[in-house]
Every structure is written in structure tokens, then in C-alpha cells.
Amino acid sequence: MTLGPALSSAVAGRADLFDGLDLDRLLPVARRILQERARDFTTLRGLLQKEFPEVNDQARGYAVRTQLPLVMVPTEDRWAFPRIVDFTPADSWLGSHTPTAPVS
């Protein structure tokens, strides 16, 4: 069993929030930005705002978190979830190919 259907349903269930969001445009841009270097979601949202000013800020972030395979970059923090966390595409971190299309 995969999480894909549940994550896709979550996006579909919030149609009001995702109005005007084109995943086929958004996800490759987000992936490119995160491949350049790992970033926290506050920074990523700001960069995506420049490319997609017409789309709801929360929708952009939620879509990236749920539709791209990402990993959290480890920090020096021990036994705690850091306040600010950088993310990068899973295949960049793991060195293997993972699907880049939206989860279905």
C-alpha cells in the first residue's frame, strides 16, 4: 500500500484552496529550486511566489510537500525536530531515481 492515493485525495478534497494550481507547472519548478540546494519551506514559498503569484501560498507549499518525494536534511540537533528544516528531492539525497510526477 502506498500513500499516493491518500495524498492525492487530500489535494482533491480542498479544491477551494487549490483553485488555479497547475501541478504540472508547479512541481518541476519546485523540484528545480530544491535541487539547486536544500531549502526550508519558508524560503521555497517565497521563491515559488515569484513564479506563481496567482496561486494560494498555502496551496503551493502543501502541493510540494504531498506530491514530491522529499527528504529532510539532517541537522546538528540531537533528539529533536529542528525549528527550521531544509528539504531536498529524495533522489538527490539517496542517489537513485524516484518518480517526479504527482503522486496518484
- Look at residue 56 in the predicted model and tell me its pLDDT: 85
CATH 1.10.10 fits 4-94, yes or no: yes
Model confidence pLDDT, tens digit, residues 22-70: 889 999 999 999 999 999 999 999 999 999 998 888 888 888 998 899 9
Q: What is the value of pTM for the model shown?
A: 0.77
- Over range 68-80, report the average pLDDT: 84
Residue 71 pLDDT greater than 70, yes or no: yes
- Look at residue 40 in the predicted model and tell me its pLDDT: 95
Instruction: Please count the other Cβ atoms lying within 10 Å of the Cβ belonging to residue 19.
Output: 11
**Rounded-to-5 percentages of helix, strand, coil across the chain:** 50, 5, 45
Domain extent listing, the chain: 4-94
C-alpha 66/C-alpha 69 separation (Å) is 8
User: For the chain, where are the alpha helices, taking DSSP H only?
Assistant: 4-12, 23-36, 41-51, 57-67, 90-94
Residue 9 pLDDT greater than 80, yes or no: no
C-alpha 3/C-alpha 38 separation (Å) is 24
